[in-house]
């Protein structure tokens, strides 16, 4: 049951029955609101608290946890509800065990043994045998308050010190062995303590129960500097995090969730004013730990040591996280100065230095780009093509299609900056080149020359694209039945206008939830505002569209969207061709660029003038629209002009 609750987020289960109020909900904090599924209402009075795992309705006063919600909403018994949730979480139901209560009692007994061990180790830290350990902790600037709060103790060097203490208090030998505190001798002797001559860090689960220990060796010659408890009925190192309980509470109060590498890093961060710090338990981060992190915070910050090993650890986390990410579940990476970890930095330079590193944390896409491009030279088409192939393979691991699209767009922008900001030999360009200014490998926009402003190519071609996007979105809003048919194309449509992007996302989400036309209209208003929505629908180029005037005509709407998407693809194809042409003429001066633009503009004007001749031919679309056959010749003439040779001076 504990694992089932850890794997299953209450809001995910409730979200199958309700539509969340986006204005009132805060997904990052697990604070969700919706109309109650248990009684008829329009206001969002049903509250789900993901962090506590409980729901409550302020209208009908329904309340409960994950199991009770499934029982009430599906009219199931307790075991049926558990089986349904287990299947959804990918867990196999254990066979019915008549000794289940006995096993639960056994776990309780093991927890009690662990708590006795915590007290024993804490007392041992005050003895003469722990003098070196106390000096070490003082050297790490740990206060008595920190020692008490994290319950740090000491395991004496003797082979049966803890064993003798626990058995002397009547603790059965099998419980000590099962808790992972001692091992049986393979030579027929007495069992011996697992931890000897080590500083002890109790590990507690999310419910605050002591389930394991982490231990640092005091002897430099010891083979293992850090040692963790073995796996036990209480402890699964791949599912737990050090300091997870206090960190979850601090994150709920707004503190950033920081993932450090070790126990001392967590303690130093917590003492320095960063209480929502956690660490994996002696292994690399696992997928179950990532899921636990995302249940605490939407975007944890992974704080890594500033060395090659730290970067390698970050790259492993990236590969693990990519298939698991979705909207609202990501990571940032804070790279410490070279040769330092968070503990070193906070002790040496103070909390402000750590805050500066956290503020500069990189989004995952930037670190991913760094991994694929650092120390590489892209001075040939083959090397650039290899980079493209690697990037496609990486983003292909992202299961969420919408998120994958945004990653592809971000990497495309970074690729553009890299190849346009570098010379043919792959070295970064600086200053000016080809009449363009460069800064940090990226082109700095320059004001266009007067002759360029006057040309048609210098005008805002993006305006046409925005108009077509508006027609598509308005058609989907007035005839929502077509959204499902064009879901993939709409998801891939790179809306440049933020309002269009927000409206597109709202339409796709509403369609996925199976909402009706009125509910979709409300979702659109919530996404961009009633005024912005009215402005879009009443715009002249939208209002005159036949499918808008005849709202609800699914066939006419389908033909309109198909035609507008085709024209968008053609317009973006033109942009891509022009971009390639611009790349070819980057090395020329301003005068040459202006000459080419002027010639291209004249060619376009001639093509448009020729298009008005009486013998111009059109095709008629299924919705009555006329499709111009001459546009292809105009486009060819335009591109032929752009590729002219450099003029003689």
Q: What is the mean pLDDT of residues 448-456?
A: 41
> Do 39 and 156 fall into the same domain?
no
Domains identified in the chain, total number: 5
For residue 41, the model assigns a pLDDT of 79
> Do 240 and 230 fall into the same domain?
no
Q: Measure the CA–CA gap between 488 and 443, rounded to whole angstroms.
A: 33
Does residue 202 belong to any structural domain of this protein?
yes
> Do 244 and 323 fall into the same domain?
yes
pLDDT in tens, 321-370: 999 988 878 999 998 888 788 888 888 888 999 999 999 999 999 999 99
On the question of pLDDT at 502 being above 90, the answer is no
> Do 214 and 273 fall into the same domain?
no
Does residue 534 belong to any structural domain of this protein?
yes
For the stretch 346-369, what's the b/e string if a residue is b when 16 or more beta carbons lie within 10 angstroms of its beta carbon?
A: bbeeeeebbeebbeebbebbebbb
Does residue 275 belong to any structural domain of this protein?
yes
On the question of pLDDT at 403 being above 50, the answer is yes
Domain CATH code at residue 168 = 3.90.980.10
Higher model confidence: residue 617 or residue 108?
A: 108
> Do 240 and 216 fall into the same domain?
no
Domain CATH code at residue 311 = 3.40.1360.10
Q: Are 294 and 329 in contact (CB under 8 A)?
A: yes
For residue 514, the model assigns a pLDDT of 77
Report the chain's C-alpha Rg in angstroms: 32
> Do 62 and 135 fall into the same domain?
no
> Do 440 and 473 fall into the same domain?
no
- Of 187, 219, 235, at which residue does a domain stop? 235
On the question of pLDDT at 436 being above 50, the answer is no
Q: Which of 169-173, 203-207, 466-470, 625-629 has the lowest mean pLDDT?
A: 625-629
Q: Which of 102-111, 225-234, 419-428, 509-518 has the lowest mean pLDDT?
A: 419-428
> pLDDT-based confidence at 512, cuts 50/70/90?
confident
On the question of pLDDT at 411 being above 80, the answer is yes
> Do 434 and 543 fall into the same domain?
no
Does residue 272 belong to any structural domain of this protein?
yes
Helix/strand/coil (H/E/C) assignment for every residue in 322-346: HHHCECCECCEEEEEEECCCHHHHH
For residue 275, the model assigns a pLDDT of 92
Q: Centre a 10 Å sphere on the Cβ of residue 609 and count the other Cβ atoms it contains.
A: 9
Q: Centre a 10 Å sphere on the Cβ of residue 20 and count the other Cβ atoms it contains.
A: 20
Q: Which of 506-510, 514-518, 604-608 has the lowest mean pLDDT?
A: 604-608
Q: Which H/E stretch holds residue 161?
A: helix 161-168
Tokens of 52: 């506590």
Phi, psi values for residue 63, rounded to 5°: -150, 160
Q: Measure the CA–CA gap between 618 and 383, rounded to whole angstroms.
A: 45
Does residue 454 belong to any structural domain of this protein?
no
For residue 599, the model assigns a pLDDT of 65
Q: Measure the CA–CA gap between 241 and 514, rounded to whole angstroms.
A: 38
Higher model confidence: residue 612 or residue 80?
A: 80
Answer whether 0.75 is exceeded by the pTM: no
> Do 177 and 320 fall into the same domain?
no
Does residue 536 belong to any structural domain of this protein?
yes
> Do 476 and 602 fall into the same domain?
yes
- Of 364, 385, 419, at which residue does a domain stop? 364
The SS3 assignment for 641 reads helix
For residue 439, the model assigns a pLDDT of 42
For residue 100, the model assigns a pLDDT of 60
Question: Across 307-392, where does the E strand assignment appear?
Answer: 332-338, 362-363
Q: Which of 95-104, 514-523, 557-566 has the lowest mean pLDDT?
A: 95-104
On the question of pLDDT at 277 being above 90, the answer is yes
- Arithmetic mean of pLDDT over the chain: 80
Does residue 647 belong to any structural domain of this protein?
no
Does residue 370 belong to any structural domain of this protein?
no
> Do 106 and 223 fall into the same domain?
yes
Domain span at 52: 2-88
> Do 160 and 219 fall into the same domain?
yes
On the question of pLDDT at 623 being above 60, the answer is no
- Of 364, 390, 415, at which residue does a domain stop? 364
């Amino acid at each position: 049951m504990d694992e089932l609750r850890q794997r299953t987020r209450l809001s995910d289960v409730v979200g199958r029955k309700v539509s969340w109020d986006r204005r009132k909900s805060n997904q990052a904090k697990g604070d969700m609101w919706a109309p109650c599924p248990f009684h008829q209402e329009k206001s969002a009075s049903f509250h789900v608290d993901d962090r506590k795992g409980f729901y409550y309705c302020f209208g009908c006063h329904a309340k409960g946890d994950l199991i009770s919600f499934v029982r009430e909403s599906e009219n199931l018994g307790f075991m049926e509800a558990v089986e349904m949730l287990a299947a959804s979480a990918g867990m196999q139901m254990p066979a019915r065990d008549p000794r289940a209560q006995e096993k639960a009692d056994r776990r309780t007994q093991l927890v009690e043994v662990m708590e006795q061990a915590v007290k024993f180790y804490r007392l041992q830290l005050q003895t003469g045998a722990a003098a070196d350990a106390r000096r070490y902790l003082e050297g790490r600037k740990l206060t008595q308050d920190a020692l008490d709060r994290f319950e740090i103790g000491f395991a004496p060097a003797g082979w049966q010190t803890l064993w003798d203490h626990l058995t002397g208090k009547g603790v059965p030998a099998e419980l000590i062995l099962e808790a992972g505190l001692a091992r049986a001798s393979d030579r027929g002797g007495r069992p011996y303590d697992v931890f000897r001559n080590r500083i002890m860090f109790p590990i507690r689960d999310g419910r605050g129960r002591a389930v394991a220990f982490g231990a640092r060796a005091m002897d430099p010659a010891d083979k293992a500097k850090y040692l963790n408890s073995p796996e036990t009925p209480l402890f699964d190192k791949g599912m737990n995090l050090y300091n997870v309980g206090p960190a979850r509470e601090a994150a709920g109060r707004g503190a950033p969730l920081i993932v450090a590498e070790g126990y001392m890093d967590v303690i130093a961060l917590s003492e320095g004013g960063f209480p929502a710090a956690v660490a994996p338990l002696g292994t690399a981060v696992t997928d179950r730990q990532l899921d636990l992190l995302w249940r605490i915070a939407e975007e944890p910050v992974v704080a890594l040591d500033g060395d090659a090993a730290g970067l390698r650890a970050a790259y492993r986390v990236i590969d693990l996280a990519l298939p698991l990410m979705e909207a609202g579940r990501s990571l940032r990476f804070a790279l410490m100065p070279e040769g330092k970890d968070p503990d070193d930095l906070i002790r040496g330079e103070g909390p402000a230095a750590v805050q500066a590193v956290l503020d500069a944390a990189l989004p995952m896409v930037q670190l991913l780009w760094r991994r694929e491009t650092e120390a590489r030279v892209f001075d040939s088409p083959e090397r650039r093509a290899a980079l493209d192939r690697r990037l496609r393979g990486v983003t292909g691991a992202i299961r969420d299609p919408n998120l994958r699209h945004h990653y592809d767009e971000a990497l495309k922008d970074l690729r553009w900056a890299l190849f346009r900001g570098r010379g043919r030999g792959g070295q970064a360009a600086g200053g000016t080149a080809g009449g363009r200014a460069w800064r940090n490998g990226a082109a700095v926009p320059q004001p266009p020359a007067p002759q360029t402003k006057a040309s048609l190519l210098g005008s805002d071609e993006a305006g046409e694209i925005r108009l077509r996007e508006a027609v598509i979105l308005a058609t989907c809003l007035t005839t929502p039945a077509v959204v499902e048919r064009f879901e993939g194309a709409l998801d891939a449509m790179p809306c440049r206008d933020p309002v269009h992007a927000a409206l597109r996302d709202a339409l796709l989400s509403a369609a996925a939830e199976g909402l009706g036309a009125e509910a979709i209209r409300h979702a659109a208003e919530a996404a961009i505002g009633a005024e912005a929505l009215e402005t879009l629908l009443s715009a002249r180029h939208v209002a005159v569209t036949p499918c808008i005037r005849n709202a609800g005509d699914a066939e006419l709407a389908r033909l309109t969207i198909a035609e507008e998407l085709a024209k968008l693809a053609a317009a973006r194809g033109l942009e891509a061709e022009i971009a390639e042409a611009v790349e070819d003429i980057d090395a020329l001066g301003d005068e040459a660029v202006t000459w080419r633009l002027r010639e291209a503009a004249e060619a376009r004007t001639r093509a448009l003038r020729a298009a008005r001749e009486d013998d111009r031919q059109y095709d008629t679309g299924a919705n009555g629209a006329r499709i111009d056959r001459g546009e292809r010749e105009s486009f060819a003439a335009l591109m032929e002009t752009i590729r002219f040779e450099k003029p003689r001076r």
